[in-house]
Structures are given as structure tokens and as C-alpha cells.
Amino acid sequence: MQLLPSLVSGLKAVCASFPDSRKGRGGNIAIADFGMAAFSMFFMQSASFLAFQRSLEKGRGRSNAQTLFGIGRIPSDNYIRGALDEADPALLQPCFERMETLLAQPAMRQAFGRLGGRTLVAFDGTQYFCSQKLRCPNCLTRERSNGKTENYHCLLSATVVAPGHSKVVPLMPEFVATQDGAEKQDCERNAVKRWFDSHHARIAPLRPIFLGDDLFACHPVCKMITDAGDDFIFTCKPTSHKALYDFIDGAEPFRHVERVRRGKTTDTRRYRWIEAVPIRDGKDAILVNWISFEILDAKGKVKYSMAWVTSLPVSKDNVAEIVACGRARWKIENESFNVLKNHGYELEHNFGHGQNYLAMTLATLNLLAFAWHTVLELLEPPWRTAREAAVKRTSFFAQILTLTTYVAFPSWLVLLESLTTFTIPPELVKRLDSS
């Protein structure tokens, strides 16, 4: 077993680079321990993990925080919040760059490669904190109808997705936050430009195709992507693209029809596309290919309808796969945001807001834990075997928490073998009985 210990080692090195403003006795806890302690809660899917490890260390002399995560001393929760409030989430970028490297491995290429081995990266924003009382310099604000002001945090996620695959891999996020010197409040379009400037050149070997909702189907974003030699598939609604739909009104599209049998019913899938359509008014408007897709039931009633613009060439041979990739954008909401908020990661929970970077750094560590879980299930055999033995994801993490509450395991491999075989090594049982 090599990947998980390597990931832990890499994260610890990154956490060691966090700023340390302590003076005097505070230095007896390594600065890396603060970041590793916070990450361990997200990775183990338990806000109580550190409390259990403190008790375990008190009774056994060591804990899983030490043996699995390399934490020398477990800081108090408030001490963790204070230390991480000074750590810019951008410092965690090397850990996400490791995820990008792993995406180039054959197993990951096979899992996520589409349209000739290309990687789909979906953009979308989500809120992860809201309060009428707490505020920091990075907060956005909005006025509610009752006259009260809300402070909130949003992030722009760039997530690797693929049609027909239930797993997703979040990349380094970009935060929608107050920008120095800006007169207007930040927005997702500005955030996606910053993300692209920072990361697109580095992920070029993945041959990305960027996905997004109607918000990103605009001239500046589309031109930014094509100027860099990349491609996009963005949702395109008539209500926000009047000039485009006026241009194609009355035009004769290319057509392709497929019939797909599902159980006892047969659906008709109808594709239409028009090439070289200006995305907006103006002679300098970028030209895109427009695709319309409909699913009709056996009686000819339209059950689903959507349209996209893309920089990809469209033909009868690839239009169905392009549409499938465009529809995979929903995975950033279903398989990413929904899981992060409702299935163990508790992204919207206020783990700590702080006065500087705390809320953003904790959200980034949470996303990193989610990314690790995906790549481990695909690339680390002992993790995958233990995960399959538990059948359900919730059972897997419940079993991890139960075992690590009472037994200090010497390594990840021993822990995962115990989860797979439903047994604890005899030497650990003896140590447990003698304590």
C-alpha cells in the first residue's frame, strides 16, 4: 500500500508551510499538526474524531491521529481554528496538483476519459456558509426582503466528471469573495476567469473539455477557453441568448434520431445542431456550434429538452456523446455538492468562520478529503477492498470510526485489513485487553 501514506506525507509537508504567528510556549505543537488535525476530521467523516483520539491517547499512550495522520500532538479545536485562520487556502494547491497527476494514470483515464480520452471539467458555484451575525473580509453580502443583511461564502468548484460514472474528483477551487480594489461584488464569471488563469496551463495534458450552465455560455468565457486551445460544452437557454436564437430561427439544422429501449419502453432521442452560430451580437462574436436534444416517449411527448453551445465539431457520429457529456454537468450538483452537503462531509456546517481565511481553508480541506476518497477507491486496492466489504459507504465510515475509537492501529494497511476481514490483529487485541 503506497498511495494513501504518500498522500498523507504530502499533505503534512504542505501544512508545515502554513504561517505560524505563535510566540512562546505555543511552539511545542508543530504547525503541520493544525492542518492535519482539521483534515483528519473531514477524511474520517467525523467531527468527533479528534476527541476520540485524545481519549485513546490518554488511555493507550498513542492514537490513530499519530499513527495514521502523523500528528505529533492533537491541538484543541479552538487552537486549530486560530492557527488555520492565518493559512491562505491557496497554500493547499500542491495537494490538488497531486490529484491532477493521478488523473493522468491509466485507471483514471479509463474511468473519466470521454470523447477520445479527454477529461470533462465541470464548473459550478455553491454557497457553503451564511450568517447574519458573523462576518470576515472575504464575505459576500446580500439584502433580504425583510431588510436584514446576510453575510455568506461561495466557492467555484472545478470538478472532473464523466457520463456513466458515479465518481467525481474536485480540483482546486476558486473562491467567490471580496476582491481588493474591486468596486463590484465578486461573481462566478470573475471566479472562473481567475481559476482558468491559475490552472488551465497545468491541466492541459488532461486535454480538458469544460462544462457549465448557462451562466458560462458567454463570449468572454468561451473565447478565453478557445484562445487557450481548449474546448467547452455549455448549457444555452433562449431566455439569455436572444441574439443566438434569433440567428438560428428558421435555419435548417442537421438532424439525427436514435431509439433507445429501456425495459419495456422505447424512447426516441432527437438531436439537432447548427454550425458556426455567433454567441452574441457583434462582428467579433465567437462562433459556436449549437445542439438541441429532446427525449420523446412512445406517444411522441417530449419528456426532456435541453440545448448547448460547444466549440467541438459536431457530426452524426459524435453528437450523442457530446450531449451525454454536456448532461454530465449535473454530476457536479448531484455527485459533488449533494454529497458534500448531505452525506458525511457537512460542507455547509460552520466548523469555524474566523476573521481571515478559516472558513475558506476548512472548505478546501473538506474538498481535498472528498477527492482523496475518490482516487483511493479507484487506485488503492486495500482501500477499495475494504470499501467493498462494507457494501454501503455509510457503513464503511461508521466502521472506521468505531474501530479507531478503541484501537490504535500501527498503519493504514492494518486498519484496512481489519475492515476487510472484520477482525482485529491478535497483538492489538492483547494490547486492548491489557489496558
The average confidence (pLDDT) of the chain is 91
CA distance 17 to 338: 32
What is the tally of helices (H) and strands (E) in the chain?
A: 18, 12
pLDDT for residue 164 is more than 80? yes
Reduced to 3 DSSP states, what percent helix, strand and coil does the chain have, rounded to the nearest 5? Answer: 45, 20, 35
Distance, CA of 231 to chain centre = 20
The DSSP call for residue 280 is S
**Tens of pLDDT along 371-399?**
999 999 999 999 999 999 999 988 999 99
SS3 state at 46: coil
- Residue partners of 263: CB distance under 8 A and separation at least 6: none
Percentage above 90 pLDDT, the chain = 72
Smallest Cα–Cα separation from 319: which of 285, 272, 351? Answer: 272
How wide is the angle at C-alpha 311 spanned by C-alphas 196 and 318, nearest 5°?
125
pLDDT digit string, tens, across residues 253-299 = 999 999 888 777 888 999 999 999 999 998 899 999 999 999 998 77
The reported pLDDT for the residue numbered 24 is: 60
The pLDDT score that the predictor gives to residue 433 is 56
* Cell (9 digits) for 241: 441568448
In this prediction, residues 101-115 reach a mean pLDDT of 94
pLDDT digits (tens, 9 = 90+) for 312-357: 999 999 999 999 999 999 998 888 888 889 888 888 888 889 899 9
Predicted local confidence at residue 25, as pLDDT: 54
27 pLDDT above the threshold of 70? no
